[in-house]
Amino acid sequence: MSVTGDIRPIDPSSVPQRRLYTGATMPAVGLGTFGSDAVGAAEVAAAVKGAAAIGYRHFDCASVYGNESAVGESLEAIVRGGVARKDLWVTSKVWNDKHEPEDVIASCRKSLADLRLDYLDLYLVHWPFPNYHPPGCDVSSRSPNAKPYIHADYMKTWRAMEELVDRKLVRHIGTSNMTVPKLKLVLRHARVKPAANEMELHPHFQQPELFRFVVENGIQPIGYCPLGSPGRPERDRTPEDTSPLDDPVIRAIAERHGVHPAAVCIKWAVQRGQTPIPFSVNPRNYAANLRAAAEDPLSDDEMEAIGRIDRNCRLIKGQVFLWKDGQSWEALWDAEGEITPP
């Protein structure tokens, strides 16, 4: 971000693109649309419209964000305003209480209707656990029907996702919040391979092993919380959490480039190969994030220096998905290299 807050438009053709295994291209930075329970639908929808006006073409949506209908009004206006639908990249996600095959199809149709689109570019299984919990609930909340990852059940959901591709309602399907052992199984059994995996990625949580695995398997990593989610809800904070925006290495590089530390996080993400999806409703901030992806790259030395500040600091731990009393959140992430047994 320019320190003075430059909100001039950025030519979308100057934003790097990712080529997926299908040959389709995805803009290498997108706008997140999760208001973190604090930013309302109207404000997020206004940001979508504003962001498109300054050059964003990629929007990361989800039914659980509770704002797809408002975002859809903006998308409709963007297309009416002259941006071709084919030049937009819109992602949505099926929520955890809609994993039954018929629910997947219905949920996708609802997102399409809300977003005022005929097709989605990417549709993700938001979490690999079919556990309902009310939006905004505390991390100590547990569903009495909570289940672990059951691969056969996931594949039933995945078959419905594949059907969405067959019906041309979505161009690509993908996963989110997965681990290497879970993805290995999905890759073994999928008819339509995941095109992308959305995962937490920022300089303090680089997930090198999972990152390498998805890249080697032709799956595009999409990085959520690319700035370390400074606006995340209180329930998602623990005393151990650290902030990449406050890291001395990031701050020194930011100073050298005359930008905000957020811009350094975006540059690192784009140059490393993931697709960051920073959230912002502030025009100066979202403009700065797009500009960071398009201009003034980091040097190899700067990239290497950031590579060394990983703290394995997961911010979105997913506690509400735990299925057994006394479990720690690490069980959700298969830290031992195998799927945590039921």
Q: How far is CA 198 from CA 145, 214, 219, 225, 330, in A?
A: 25, 10, 10, 10, 18
Query: Contact between 231 and ligand NAP (CB under 6 A)?
Result: yes
| Binding window for ligand NAP (CB under 6 A); candidates: 72-80, 103-111, 273-281, 303-311 | 273-281
Nearer to ligand NAP, 2 or 143 (CB): 2
Q: How far is CA 307 from CA 253, 276, 296, 302, 310, in A?
A: 13, 16, 19, 9, 6
Q: Do 48 and 38 meet the contact criterion of CB atoms below 8 Å apart?
A: no
Query: Contact between 175 and ligand NAP (CB under 6 A)?
Result: no
| CA-based R_g, the chain, Å | 19
Question: According to CB under 6 A, which residues from 85 to 144 bind ligand NAP?
Answer: 126
Number of residues that bind ligand NAP (CB under 6 A): 31
| Binding window for ligand NAP (CB under 6 A); candidates: 20-28, 97-105, 222-230, 250-258 | 222-230
Distance between CA atoms of residues 39 and 279, nearest Å: 11
Q: How far is CA 92 from CA 7, 169, 172, 219, in A?
A: 27, 12, 11, 17
Q: Do 136 and 103 meet the contact criterion of CB atoms below 8 Å apart?
A: no
Query: Contact between 163 and ligand NAP (CB under 6 A)?
Result: no
For 178, list phi and psi in degrees, rounded to 5: -100, 175
| Binding window for ligand NAP (CB under 6 A); candidates: 71-79, 279-287, 321-329, 330-338 | 279-287
Question: According to CB under 6 A, which residues from 187 to 206 bind ligand NAP?
Answer: 198
- Strand 17-19 and strand 25-27: the pairing is antiparallel
Question: According to CB under 6 A, which residues from 33 to 62 bind ligand NAP?
Answer: 33-34, 36, 60
Nearest distance, CB of residue 39 and ligand NAP, angstroms: 7
| Binding window for ligand NAP (CB under 6 A); candidates: 27-35, 131-139, 208-216, 332-340 | 27-35
- Binding ligand NAP (rule: CB under 6 A), the pick from 279, 291, 306, 313 is 279
Closest listed residue to residue 93, CA positions, set 214, 199, 209, 206: 199
Catalytic residue numbers? Answer: 65
Residues forming the site for ligand NAP (CB under 6 A): 1, 32-34, 36, 60, 126, 176-177, 198, 224-232, 260, 262, 277-282, 285, 288-289, 316
